[in-house]
Each structure stands twice: as C-alpha cells, then as structure tokens.
Amino acid sequence: MKSINPANGKLIGEYSEHTVNQCDEIVGQVHQAWKLWKQTSFEERKRLMLSAAGILRKNKDKYARLMTDEMGKLIKESLAEVEKSAWVCEYYAENAEEFLKDEIIKTDAGKSFVSFEPIGPVLAVMPWNFPFWQVFRFAAPALMAGNACVLKHASNVPGCALAIERIFKEAGFPENLFRTLMIPGSLVENVIKNEKIMAVTLTGSELAGSKVAELAGKHLKKIVLELGGSDPFIVLKDADIAKCAEVAVFARMLNCGQSCIAAKRFIVEKEIAEEFTILVKKQMELLKPGAPSNPETNSGPMARPDLVEEIDLQVQKSIKMGAKLLLGGRKMVGDGFYYEPTLLTEITPEMPVFAEETFGPVLAIMKVENAAEAIKIANSSNYGLGGCIWTKDIEKGTHYARQIESGAVFVNGMTKSDPRLPFGGIKKSGYGRELSHYGIKEFVNIKTVWVG
C-alpha cells in the first residue's frame, strides 16, 4: 500500500497490507477489548475521549502536515480539520451520557423505559478527502456509546489511518479497542461477514456504498451510508450578491472541490446572474495553484491523477454540449496532480458538470427564470445531501428550504457539518445520520424494558 504526495507525485512511504487471517485475528482482538469496554462508566469514557482531543490539539501541526502530504489538502485547511476532530471528541465526551440516558415511557407497567446499549465492534469504511474528520466523527460517538472500532481507511492515506490508531492508544483507550486494517477494498467483504462485526458505516461514492450495502444486507448488519452529493447553491434576486459570490467560491473550492457537501450546482435567477458571474470570476482569478504546504497557497492539487482525468472529462464534455468557459478548463503541466480553477456558464441540466457529481475545482452556473424553477432544478438531482439558498427575505428562504429535497439546507450560509447537527442524506446520497444525538443512536441497541 503506497502513499503518494499529490503535490509532486513522489512516494512518501509503503505499508504492508494485512492478510485475511490477520484481519480475522485483529477483529477478534477488538471484540475481546469491547467485552470489557462496554462495562466502563461514561465518566471513564469521557476522560479518555478528552485525552484524545488534547493529543490532537497538542500535535496539530504534525497531523496537519501528514494530511497535506498524503492527500494534498491546503495546510490551513488541514489545521482546521485537526481542530474540528478535537471538537467532535469533546462534544461527545460532554454529551454522550445525556444522549443515552434511559427514556421513561408511561405504559400499563409498573415501570417501562428504553435503554440505549452498545452493540459491539463497528466497521468504518472511510474516504481520503477528510482523512481525520471523517474517522473521528464516527469514532467519537461509537466509542462513547460503548462500542469498539475497526477502521478500513482509503488506500491513499495509510499514514493518517495509523496515526489515528496511535492517538487512541496514546490517550489511554484499551489496547485493541480501535484498530486499523491495512487492506484493499477487495477484502472488505471478508471483514463484513465476520460474525464479530456488528455494524458498518461508510462514507464514500455511490458505487462503493451500493456494494457495501449489498454485503451488509447479505450478512444482516446494520449500516449507515454517507455518499455522494451534488449540492445546489441557489441565489435569488434579492440576495446579497457580493456576499453570495464570496461564499460561493469558498464553498466550491474548499479542499480543491473534493467534498461531498461542496456547493456544486449554482442556480441563479437570471436578473442577477451576470452580476453574480462577474463577481465570482473576480474571486476565482485570485486562486493560484501551488504547494499546499505553503501557508500562502490558496489552491492545491487534487488527491490522485485519475481524479484529474475524471474532472477534465466532465468539463470537456460539457463544453462540447454548449457550456461557456470563462476560466481554466485544463490539466496543469508539471509535477503533481493539478487542475486549473475552472468557471463555466450557460449550463443546462444534462451537462456532466451539472447532472453528475463533480469532485474538483470546477464552478458551473445555471440561470433560471424564478425561485420556483430553481427549486425544481435543485430537486431534479439523484442526490440529496445538502444545499443552500440565498435571499434577504428570511421567511421566504425558510419556506423554500423546506421544499428542497436533501438532508440539510442552509439559508444564507454554506453547507457544512457541525457536531451539534445531524448529518446525512436522502436519495442516492445515502441513509442514516451521523453527529448530534441522532448519530450516536445509530449504533446502539434501543432496548425496551418493561417491569410488571
């Protein structure tokens, strides 16, 4: 398993993969650790989880550099990701006990209640684009609920995967309670079918999600899926256009556009479309691709060369179908996996940059007649992860937010994840929820206790 620096294409390191037998042995060790862990108090779990948060903050420069080196994230974004990972640890450390307290239900019994109890080892199949945050937003609630964790991370971020395992060990969590499997996707089925794995969570592509869901269903394992997104960014004619344009570029270009909840379909009322486009273009002209380790860089590389090829294919097909290219539109020559920040207009619904999920630094603008058409276009997607709508009329914005088919809608703000709010999608963006009190209850036994 190789780790390649996307900024220069050079090998960082090579890692030995686990065999099938080694995977089974590790899962068995995790299960043994869980038998003791599930009996620990919330006070003890809290102490250790806060210790993990402290380790993250104490070593944030080291972990941020690791993320930047392995998947090309801008160093300032990597630093922010470490901080957010620490935050989710603290959030569940402070709130898990309250979230999982017994719920008293009045019935004909002398006493009846619902308890929320741990179920066992949970397998997490995680992506490369947020290599720390994605793991911690799963692990913090899972461990605080009394479960154990088995991580199968993306193959291009093995250093991050092992670093996270070490963080939990250093924090004082029991040996083997959190383990990383260094395996390719082809061995995931073997792990899912292991009788000691009780549930699966996956963040990734629609294709990966469908395959893992099929396997989990075959072996009767509970699963949560957070898959692709093609989030609408709706700009109504009464919006603050200058603010909209500024946020639009940030929301699209964060992590070089490689985010499930990045704004991807920019749907703008025709009266203000030209003004919005001009302001967006000015913002995008300030983006200068460079080394992500340089704090001054504002546009980094993509994570892998195949991702560069894929986004370029979507752009070129869309141009052939009539899209107007205002900026970029080319693979960059030289070391590393870079694609020019790209701006397209005159977009129609059937173009790849609008109809498909785009993972890369490409912003595509479509004009619509009115708000009703904007909502219709927004809901025409097979995805339903997030979205946002911009208007000075808060009541109107809230009204339209209820009509958008997605797991989250932000009015006058970019879509983002927050430990306090549930996160997840509908349609082909997956099912189940992470974060908030909803997320921690996905992997517990919701048990009825009736006392006569």
- The verdict on 211 and 237 lying in the same domain is no
* pTM assigned to the model: 0.97
- The verdict on 158 and 305 lying in the same domain is no
What whole-number distance in Å separates Cα of residue 100 and Cα of residue 440? 8
Distance from the Cα of residue 337 to its chain's centroid: 21
Domain with 397 in it: what CATH number? 3.40.309.10
Please count the structural domains in the chain.
2
Domain with 444 in it: what CATH number? 3.40.605.10
Do residues 382 and 427 lie in contact, with contact meaning Cβ atoms separated by under 8 Å? yes
Instruction: For residue 177, count other CB atoms closer than 10 A to its CB.
Output: 22
- The verdict on 221 and 236 lying in the same domain is no
Give the DSSP letter string of 260-272. Answer: TTSEEEEEEEHHH
- The verdict on 369 and 438 lying in the same domain is no
pLDDT tens across 93-106, in order?
999 999 999 999 99
- The verdict on 367 and 255 lying in the same domain is yes
The DSSP call for residue 434 is B
- Is there a domain that residue 343 lies in? yes
Domain that holds residue 352: 231-411
- Is there a domain that residue 419 lies in? no
- Is there a domain that residue 418 lies in? no
Write out the catalytic residue numbers.
226, 260
CA distances from 81 to 57, 84, 92, 194, 199 (A): 11, 5, 17, 32, 26
pLDDT tens across 317-362, in order?
999 999 999 999 999 999 999 999 999 999 999 999 999 999 999 9
pLDDT tens across 424-441, in order?
999 999 999 999 999 999
Do residues 37 and 201 lie in contact, with contact meaning Cβ atoms separated by under 8 Å? no
- The verdict on 276 and 318 lying in the same domain is yes
- The verdict on 290 and 375 lying in the same domain is yes
- The verdict on 41 and 159 lying in the same domain is yes
pLDDT given at position 229: 96
- Is there a domain that residue 180 lies in? yes
- The verdict on 193 and 291 lying in the same domain is no
- The verdict on 197 and 312 lying in the same domain is no
- Is there a domain that residue 420 lies in? no
- The verdict on 85 and 195 lying in the same domain is yes
- Is there a domain that residue 76 lies in? yes
pLDDT given at position 8: 97
- The verdict on 116 and 153 lying in the same domain is yes
Do residues 38 and 146 lie in contact, with contact meaning Cβ atoms separated by under 8 Å? yes
The contacts of residue 216 (CB under 8 Å, 6+ apart) are 192, 200, 222, 223
- Is there a domain that residue 288 lies in? yes
H-run or E-run covering 275:
helix 270-284
